[in-house]
Amino acid sequence: MERNNDDRLIRAITHKGRAQMLHLLLKQDSNISQLARLTKLDRATVAYHLGILEYTKLVTSDYKMLQEPHSMGKIGRYYSINKTQLRKAIKILHAIKLE
């Protein structure tokens, strides 16, 4: 069972789009609209990939006030990196590289 989880984790972080999102989230928490704009992917694609990242516990989400102009106090879902899980994924990748 552990090996299966490790495989999912590795597949999650080695996808180009998800890796790009993780890189952006390391800099700051972001919502789907911000990530879509920065990655030049459509919102549905970003939401799909964030779902995978959240399922593998690489990111967490929380509802906060939107930071974008003209938000007028609206609430949005912001994603952030789970650094413990990211470290685990990097450690697994490093071990694979050494094998």
What CATH code is carried by the domain that includes residue 8?
Answer: 1.10.10.10
Q: Per-residue DSSP letters for 62-99? A: EEEE--STT-TT-EEEEEEE-HHHHHHHHHHHHHHHH-
Give me the domain span that covers residue 32: 2-98
Q: What pLDDT, on a 0 to 100 scale, did the predictor assign at position 43?
A: 96
Percent of the chain with pLDDT over 90: 72
Structure-token pair, residue 49: 């990939």
Residue, of 60 and 3, whose pLDDT is higher: 60
- pLDDT band for 1, please (50, 70, 90 cuts): very low
User: What distance lies between CA 98 and its chain's CA centroid?
Assistant: 26
Pairing of strands 75-81, 59-65: antiparallel
Total domain count for the chain? 1
Residue 79, beta-bridge partner list? 30, 61
**Of 16 and 68, which is predicted with more confidence?**
16
Kindly report the pTM of this predicted structure. 0.85
